[in-house]
Amino acid sequence: TTRDDEGVARRTSSRRDGVLGCARATMTMTLIIISSFFLALVPATYANGFKIEVAKLKINTPENVRGTYDVAIANFGRTLYGGSLSGTLTYPANTANSRQGCDASAVAIPDSARQSRGAVILMLDRGSCAFTMKVWNAQLAGADAVIIVDDRDEDLVTMDSGADADTGSYVSNITIPAVLARMVDGNSFDQAITMYGHVVGTLDWHDVLPHPDSRVEWELWSESNDECGYKCEQQNAFIVDFAPIAKQLEQDGYTQFTPHYITWMCAQNPDSRECKAQCINRGRYCAPDPDDDLSHGYSGADVVIDNLRALCVFDAANKTGTPWLWWDFVSQFTSACSMDSGRFAAKS
């Protein structure tokens, strides 16, 4: 499992797509649950072990593309959960140079879309640069939402942000929603725009949040490793900042929360040095070595054990009707037991 410039949450053996994951060269691992920090709100479509958040795109006109289409919600930007956004679907002006949205100076909203009623829902083609860069450039151009059209025939995938510092410098400023459309659907919309001059539709997030018993059910996927750069910094900051809100929502009966932790399985000999250093239970539960050094520092096994400790805290708290105590534990652990402090993986 690898990551490149785009950022895609799915399993692949190719580097042409970005992938949400952290496999390292120090050992061969089979990924059981792939994730970097993200909120997973179900119901969802499952693809290669991922939960793909799906919203609806309802096309009103023209008639030849009228209907409801599934689109995958991005793991960045501001998703309008429980809401909708209606407007005109359009590619940028001068599409020959700007269909992919990688050059901010070339992304311009057509006058016809600006003058129409409703929101500007900008369509961009996948490829050549990160998803986040496309959406950021579209936002700067004045778009209210972005639909990125896949460039290959495949199931929906989740667009993710990169873990590099450059992406981190702007991704938190993206305040518009973004979704990914299947190639076949995007091609139909493109043809309709060419033929009729416009496509009018509504992005709808009303049915994304599950609430079978009047509570919103949500999950947090994370890991205790705090040496993975921007992603870990983002994750830990969220946990500390959101803990008081999450506790109050749970105590007041508005939400039902479940934490999950990332787990790998060792595909090598479980008695190998790599598996012993990065796994527990003979290679069944593993995590990459935090500093890529099997001889020094904390090990992947240390990460797995602390993940397990946090899950045990949640299990015990949940059984006593106080699941929100998990937030106290992880927020205090994040602050007091970092790897830099030397107190990570303490035995007592």
pLDDT tens readout for residues 144-197 = 999 999 999 999 999 988 777 788 889 889 999 999 999 999 999 999 999 988
The residues that bridge with 48 in the sheet, in sequence order, are none
Which tens digits make up the pLDDT trace of 84-114? 999 999 999 876 678 999 999 889 998 888 8
CATH number of this structure's domain 42-204: 3.50.30.30
Which tens digits make up the pLDDT trace of 191-250? 999 998 889 999 999 888 666 677 888 888 888 887 777 778 888 888 999 999 999 999
Q: Which pLDDT belongs to residue 323? A: 95
Q: For the chain, what percent of residues have pLDDT higher than 70?
A: 82
CB 319 within 8 A of CB 55: no
Selection from 242, 272, 227, 7 nearest residue 135 by Cα? 7
Domain boundaries, the chain: 42-204, 218-336
Nearest-10 Cα torsion for 12, 22, 39, 140:
-80
CB 304 within 8 A of CB 29: no
Which band of pLDDT confidence, cut at 50, 70 and 90, is reported for residue 115?
A: confident
Write the single-letter amino acid at 144.
D
Main-chain dihedrals φ then ψ at residue 86, nearest 5 degrees: -110, 145
Residue in the block written with tokens 């934490």 = 259
Selection from 200, 225, 235 nearest residue 290 by Cα? 225
Which band of pLDDT confidence, cut at 50, 70 and 90, is reported for residue 41?
A: very low
CB 232 within 8 A of CB 225: yes
Please, where are the H alpha helices in 197-298? 230-251, 273-278
* Overall pTM > 0.85: no
